[in-house]
Amino acid sequence: MTTVLQNREALRAEIGKVAEVAGYLWKKGWAERNGGNITVNITEHVDEEMRGMKAIAGPFPIGKQLPHLEECWFYCKGTGKRMRDLARDPMANGSIIRICPGCSSYEIVADSPVMPTSELPSHLAVHDYLLVKGSPYRASLHTHPIELVALTHSRYWLEKDNATRMLWSMIPETKAFCPRGLGIVPYMLPSSVELADATIRTIDEDYDVVMWEKHGVFAVDVDIMDAFDQVDVLNKAAQIYIAGKAMGFEPEGMTSAQMKEMSVAFHLPK
């Protein structure tokens, strides 16, 4: 079968990373049914020939105008598609789209006309924001990590940076690899404009991983593997905390002095 990935090794590798991460999300139990979303800005891997390709479907309205996405291309998980299927076949369970002139619609330039995730407007709004900021981040991930979601069923852990401090204190690597911690967004209707706007505001406060109360995380990073790693490291810390509680005691956590020493030694932000 012909595929737009043919002779485009960099693009194939980028989408290969998405498939690999989709498999991890399923194995971790973070991606039940069609849960979770991934979008990656792949513009830098699109060559002249691909730019000239005819769309196989569209244009479709985005639902909002995103002026900084002019000539941008994205790989997105397909609407209603499962992460476990995407892991096997990313081009049958996801789509490549290009933003049309005017930045308020998109068309599909892929192997089959898979409609992108219903969360597309909010994911694209985040990518638009990242480009405005001059951020090197090109990937966004939404998933349902069990232990992190469980934490958000407690008022205490929803207070600003309480969860961040606890998670950092469980094991030194957490602060080293998630130096911006875990931002919190209070419960809002899934897929709503309000949730998308609150997510962007929280990323703007300098968080890479944002926790949606009683729902899941939204993470951004340079690529999808790094976005996954941040969530994985934070969830691991939550698991260590829970393991301590299950053994019948309140986990002590590293001291503030120990964490400060880490920050200085590893030149961490904040």
Contact positions toward Zn ion, by CB under 5 A? 216
Q: Which residue of this chain has its Cβ atom nearest to Zn ion in the complex? A: 216
Q: Please, what is the minimum distance in Å from the beta carbon of residue 191 to Zn ion?
A: 9
DSSP assignment of 115-147 equals PB-TTHHHHHHHHHHHHHTT----EEEEE--HH
Q: Which is nearer to Zn ion, 154 or 191 (CB)?
A: 191
Q: Which is nearer to Zn ion, 11 or 25 (CB)?
A: 25
Q: How many CB atoms lie within 10 A of CB 243?
A: 12
Q: Please, what is the minimum distance in Å from the beta carbon of residue 172 to Zn ion?
A: 30
What tokens were used for 96? 């490549």
Q: What is the SS3 assignment for 206-254?
A: CCCEEEECCCEEEEEECCHHHHHHHHHHHHHHHHHHHHHHHCCCCCCCC
Q: Please, what is the minimum distance in Å from the beta carbon of residue 33 to Zn ion?
A: 10
Q: Which is nearer to Zn ion, 143 or 169 (CB)?
A: 143
Contact 30, 146 (CB under 8 A): yes
Residue 119 falls in the annotated catalytic set: yes
Q: Which is nearer to Zn ion, 24 or 168 (CB)?
A: 24
Q: Please, what is the minimum distance in Å from the beta carbon of residue 228 to Zn ion?
A: 15
Catalytic residue among 119, 159, 194, 250: 119
Contact 166, 159 (CB under 8 A): no
Strand order in the sheet with 57-61: 57-61, 105-108, 94-99, 73-77, 37-41, 139-143, 216-221, 209-212, 182-185
Residues forming the active site: 119
